[in-house]
Structure 1
């Protein structure tokens, strides 16, 4: 399965979710390749930091920020159980290529008013990709979510009947994600019973159940 994390808006947590989804699957014994399709190269930076810290490699990270991604990803998928694509913000050509490569698109969104998360451009690109890939699945993922806030509840309620639908698993606003990223670690490596680690495990399991 090829899973792409995409959103035209930057700063919604695509890289964090891509790394942790990859790490959780690797922890479960899956062969994973993460494609860093963001010209900023944050996932590659994380991987290099992990090497500098002397931490074991959990999965491969490949930089592939070009619009031939849809032709190259299936080749890489032959040697992996899952491919995870960390997509670019606001690069339409790269976004289109990632959409054409994917079996499942995850769109991370943060609790915010409707016009904050509903990117008309992102949904238009998704609709365009489905002309060529009618079987393409997509899901919103509520990320950096303080569960008890009114805005989080309202965002979840708004997305509940939306197309694409919302994943049941949500990821909280956890400082552990940012703190651990500085040393190239994932949350389960620090505490596999933490709220952050449990949320990532729940999301990964739901993504697996959503597989086409």
Structure 2
């Protein structure tokens, strides 16, 4: 399965979700490749902070991923691609490589409006590869806030499935990343439980 995390808007948590999805799949004994396709290289920098991540991380910010993905994926059960913002050509290549494109969105009106651009790219790619699936993922949701509750209503206009498994705004994500870890090191934490539910739901979309 090839998962791509993509949004033309920056700062929505693509890298965090990519790393945690790869880490959780690896914890489940899957052979996982994480492709850092963002020229900023945040996922690659994260992997360099630790001796063993449990999965392979490579940097590949090139618009030829769709041409090379079969060879890249041949030794793995799952591939996770961390995509860049504001790079339409590279985004198109990533989308064509993917089985499932996950569009992370923070619960704000600006994020909802910007998500339209990414959804349009996905729909364009589906004319060439109809099997590409797409879903929206609410990330960094702040509990018990009106915007956190109302974002789902706003997303209905995009006519794209929205995952039920939200990821909350939790300090543990930032703290674990600083040390080259993930929230999964604290298996009983709310953050770890959210990641597990999130990956479970992605798996049901296969």
Q: CA RMSD in A?
A: 1.2
The 2-side partners of 1:45 and 1:169 are apart by: 27
2:118 to 93, 106, 122: 122
Q: Give unpaired runs (5+ residues) of structure 2.
A: none
Q: Give unpaired runs (5+ residues) of structure 1.
A: none
Is 1:77 the counterpart of 2:73 in the alignment?
Answer: yes
Partner of 2:108 in structure 1? 112
Is 1:201 the counterpart of 2:196 in the alignment?
Answer: yes
Matches within 5 A, 1:167-206: 167-189=163-185, 191-206=186-201
SS of residue paired to 1:196? helix
Cα distance per residue 1:94-152 (max 9 Å; x no partner): 10000000000000000112x43232321221111011111110000000001311001
Partner of 1:149 in structure 2? 145
Aligned pair count reads 205
State the 1:164 CA deviation: 1.4
The 2-side partners of 1:183 and 1:48 are apart by: 10
Determine if contact 2:9/2:111 at 8 Å carries over to the other structure: no
SS of residue paired to 1:169? coil
SS of residue paired to 2:48? helix
Moved over 6 A (4+): none
Matches within 5 A, 1:1-212: 1-51=1-51, 56-113=52-109, 115-119=110-114, 120-160=116-156, 162-189=158-185, 191-211=186-206
Scaled by the length of structure 1, what TM-score is found?
0.93
